Amino acid sequence: MAEEPMSPAPLPEGTASDTTGSRGSRLLGVLALVGLAVLGVLAFVLTDPDVRIHPSTGAEFGQFDAVRMLYVHVPLAVMTYLAYGLCAVASLGVLIRRTPWWDVTAHAAAEVGTVFCGLVLVTGSIWGRPVWNTWWEWGDVRLMTTLVLFLMFAGYLALRRTTGDPRAVSRRAAVVALVAVLDLPLVNRSVEWWENRTLHQQSTLGDLKIEDLTLFTLMLGFLVLGMVLAWLLLHRFRVGWLERAALDHSVAAAIVERRGETPDDELRRAVGDPSPGESS
């Protein structure tokens, strides 16, 4: 009887490759989790709240503990730009090179980027409430620009989900991503002119004394959230790749079925599984 170590059954169960994880990604994940814990400790315990003394009245003012939002909000924003930037580059790749790799990367980057972007808006709003006394501020440049950016990529993701010729959808989505990125400076400039003052400017990011431990914690925030971003991108890419493969696989199987080729090994060969030693 032939051994079959190299030929898995069509529906493998419990084989080594039944997840999208790999040694590298698991290590990255563990590092990210440890990093998040360290970040938490630094952000909440070891760093000081933002307390300043008014020069004439001697009263205390500042963000107090709300400043601890800094360590999650700003890194989220940076990661959003990285992810969307990657999406733009990958979208260019889709239009120029047209390989599936660019396409899956673009989609993965857009989806992960939108998750981060949404979190930027939410954490920004939550941070803004105690510090600016409002959940939302229409005149704020960064807030508006980020909101429009979020909406543009929400449209991108909606487009991705429509049914239709996959190649057409992927090309159109690439155009949407590129136009979004090109439009962004216009959005930014127009909102900037719209209100001359912005809360972001008046605020405290400028007059916070970002030095020493605060700075270090912020840098750590970039590093840790960067690892989280990388992990999410990796897995989302693999999921996207598998979705494509599953589609190809089911199409191939359906074609073979329709051709009425019943012998088992013919079927297996057609869908890419090497046939076992014996043929019936």
76 vs 218, beta carbon nearer another protein: 76
248 binds another protein (CB under 8 A): yes
Residue the block writes with tokens 């429509």: 162
Q: Which residues, 4 to 23, sit near another protein by CB under 8 A?
A: 6-8, 10-13, 15-23
Pick between residue 5 and residue 58 the one whose CB is nearest to another protein.
Answer: 5
Tell me how far, at minimum, the Cβ of 36 lies from another protein, in Å. 7
3-state secondary structure of 60: strand
The answer to the question of residue 238 lying near another protein (CB under 8 A) is: yes
Q: Residue 156 CB, nearest distance to another protein (Å)?
A: 8
Residues 253-272 contacting another protein, CB under 8 A: 271-272
- Give SS3 for 120: helix
Closest approach, Cβ 260 to another protein, in A, equals 22
Residue whose token pair is 């990657």: 86
**Phi and psi at residue 125, in whole multiples of 5°?**
-65, -45
Given the complex with another protein, which of 33 and 56 has the nearer CB atom?
33
Stretch 42-61: interaction string toward another protein, x if CB under 8 A: -xx----x------------
Q: Is 213 in the site for another protein (CB under 8 A)?
A: no
Any contact of residue 278 with another protein (CB under 8 A)?
no
Taking the complex as a whole, how short is the minimal distance between the CB of residue 110 and another protein, in angstroms? 13
Calpha distance 280→274 (Å, rounded): 15
Residue 182: CA count within 13 A, CB half-sphere: 8
Phi-psi region of 35 (alpha: psi -120 to 50; beta: other; left: phi over 0): alpha
Q: Which residues contact 64 (CB under 8 A, 6 or more apart)?
A: 49, 50, 51
Of 245, 277, 279, 248, whose CA–CA distance to 262 is shortest? 279
Work out the widest C-alpha separation in the chain, in whole angstroms. 95
Please tell me whether residue 86 binds another protein under the rule CB under 8 A.
no
Asked if 78 is part of the footprint of another protein (rule: CB under 8 A), the reply reads: no
| Among 191, 218, 220, 267, interactor with another protein by CB under 8 A | 191
Q: Does 148 bind another protein (CB under 8 A)?
A: yes
By the rule CB under 8 A, 119 interacts with another protein: yes
Tell which positions 171-190 bind another protein, by CB under 8 A.
171-172, 174-176, 178-180, 182-183, 186-187, 189-190
Q: Is the dihedral of CA 219, 222, 224, 230 positive or negative?
A: negative
CA distance 245 to 199: 48
- Read off the DSSP letter of residue 1: -
Nearer to another protein, 261 or 273 (CB): 273
Residues 64-103, buried b or exposed e (16+ Cβ, 10 A)? eebbbbbbbbbbbbbbbbbbbebbbbbbbbbeeeeebebb
Please provide residue 58's backbone torsions phi and psi, each rounded to the nearest 5 degrees: 75, 5
Window of 71-79, 197-205, 206-214, 258-266 that interacts with another protein by CB under 8 A? 71-79
**Is 235 an interacting residue with respect to another protein (CB under 8 A)?**
yes
Does 277 interact with another protein (rule: CB under 8 A)? no
68 binds another protein (CB under 8 A): yes
